[in-house]
Structure 1
């Protein structure tokens, strides 16, 4: 049971209806906590599973790397993986605590490599992505005054994507996150107020916030983003029947926010159980997860 829990991928599908009149389906792949793990040579198994669902967007909510990785050799593998992701669909990345465990120069080098691969790095920044939907209108009146069946149509939607700056949750000069009680919540709330204002001014059709650590769900919710994508908890590492995850950093024993969809305010938080491992090397009853959010928009 241990081996499948570490190397057999599972695709979790969640469906949302935003109440729009035009029922186009936006497919968003959510990844988190790869931490240098590979699924097949050059991650071919992972890439194929993602490609098969033909996503419009791919979001990665942190911990692409692990603090134990070697910068000179191991980073090349994950950069190549992200480049291949970008070939499938526009890809957006925000930092987790493991990226920020490295030196400032290393983090900056990682950012440059990702951006050179076509990945948009959202470290306290926002990006507006335009997605074009093409479909068919059953019967329409043409400019010739006749009824034409199956006339194609196109529609564009604007999506605001923002990355919450993980550094606000890190111990300065240390390669670890702060205890929840040590986090400057006033600074977090000030930033959230700024994000909410920018979201309101963007006039986009939908908004997505990438925030690595899910335990601050109430603070994130104040920004009024439609969707928050998080990871970090590794699904609680060991999943117990009827109880869920056993342990999560920042939440302790029997954490509540390790997987699935959670609601706060008017938004939805989608938590990935992640793909890899860190200091604890095993997943038990907790398969590596690809999340697919299908959003009617």
Structure 2
């Protein structure tokens, strides 16, 4: 009886631990910080970016107060949103619109590219119109230039590649490759579609980091990448000082949980300083 009792207690304790971890990873978020270095930038230049991805209409606190409070604590030059802010079944966009309005008060330079869930939502045109009304710059298959301290940085974007809406040639049209270039692409699969992408840094999402991960194994599955994907979160070198960064996102799809993979937004610094 004692052995059975100890076994039952152990199982209950283990299940409770998993439950608490699932709840924490799904309903609280962390700030993931990473830095990239480039000789294309003048000495002393730093560009700071907040990346939000794969929110899927999730809310953190009343009217996203927790997320807004965290954003207020950071100093960034721009906010980029790399798709799937909504779910394909989202009917009301008020949560996202309210979030954008509050973020605009913190940092007015907000850029967005579509994800597969925007393309799958029947009311996407209404959603995109609402973003434009709130002064969000939509960079689907187009580009712009950012100037900081007199230095130009290219910012390009593609519509979602996983739904075959990306046009890389349009995205980079008329850009000077001598300037440091950032590409926003919801799907990291863009790197497998085009042989050459003239960007120094690609910021993406889509994978949710696998959403559920296992110790020593990592992601079990990822959209478009199947079982045990090789690229699911974090930084990947593509060679020749080119990098892909995958943000594992804030929301969930299908299975409404995360495990060993806490919701996150990213704080990215791009600097001219040589890495020590």
TM-score normalised to the size of structure 1? 0.78
Q: Secondary structure at the match of 1:98?
A: helix
Could you tell me which of 165, 169, 192 is aligned with 2:162?
169
Cα offset, 1:194, TM superposition: 4.8
Q: 1:157 to 1:84 in 2, by over 3 A?
A: farther
Q: Distance in 2 between matches of 1:290 and 1:220?
A: 27
Find the counterpart in structure 2 of residue 41 from structure 1. 62
Matched, 1:208 2:182: yes
Find the counterpart in structure 2 of residue 263 from structure 1. 237
Is the contact made by 1:39 and 1:45 (CA closer than 8 Å) also made in structure 2? yes
Matched, 1:116 2:144: no
Cα offset, 1:43, TM superposition: 0.7
Cα offset, 1:270, TM superposition: 0.9
Is the contact made by 2:145 and 2:152 (CA closer than 8 Å) also made in structure 1? yes
Cα offset, 1:63, TM superposition: 0.2
Is the contact made by 1:218 and 1:264 (CA closer than 8 Å) also made in structure 2? no
Q: Distance in 1 between matches of 2:170 and 2:133?
A: 28
Find the counterpart in structure 2 of residue 84 from structure 1. 102
Is the contact made by 1:196 and 1:222 (CA closer than 8 Å) also made in structure 2? no
Q: 1:221 to 1:195 in 2, by over 3 A?
A: farther
Find the counterpart in structure 1 of residue 51 from structure 2. 30
Q: Distance in 1 between matches of 2:265 and 2:218?
A: 18
Could you tell me which of 134, 147, 154 is aligned with 1:130?
147
Find the counterpart in structure 2 of residue 148 from structure 1. none
Give the length in aligned residue pairs: 249
Q: Any gaps of 5 or more consecutive residues in structure 2?
A: 1-20
TM-score normalised to the size of structure 2? 0.84
Q: Secondary structure at the match of 1:129?
A: strand
Q: 1:91 to 1:253 in 2, by over 3 A?
A: same
Is the contact made by 2:68 and 2:103 (CA closer than 8 Å) also made in structure 1? yes
Find the counterpart in structure 1 of residue 82 from structure 2. 61
Cα offset, 1:98, TM superposition: 0.5
Find the counterpart in structure 2 of residue 281 from structure 1. 256
The CA RMSD over aligned residues, in Å, is: 2.0
Is the contact made by 2:141 and 2:168 (CA closer than 8 Å) also made in structure 1? no
Q: 1:219 to 1:265 in 2, by over 3 A?
A: farther
Greater mean deviation of Cα atoms: 220-229 or 248-257: 220-229
Matched, 1:12 2:32: yes
Q: Distance in 1 between matches of 2:218 and 2:44?
A: 34
Cα offset, 1:113, TM superposition: 1.0
Q: Distance in 1 between matches of 2:60 and 2:68?
A: 9
> Which deviations, in whole Å up to 9, do the C-alpha atoms of 1:207-249 show, x marking residues without a partner?
1111111123244571221111111111101112222211111
Q: Secondary structure at the match of 2:25?
A: helix
Q: Secondary structure at the match of 2:174?
A: helix
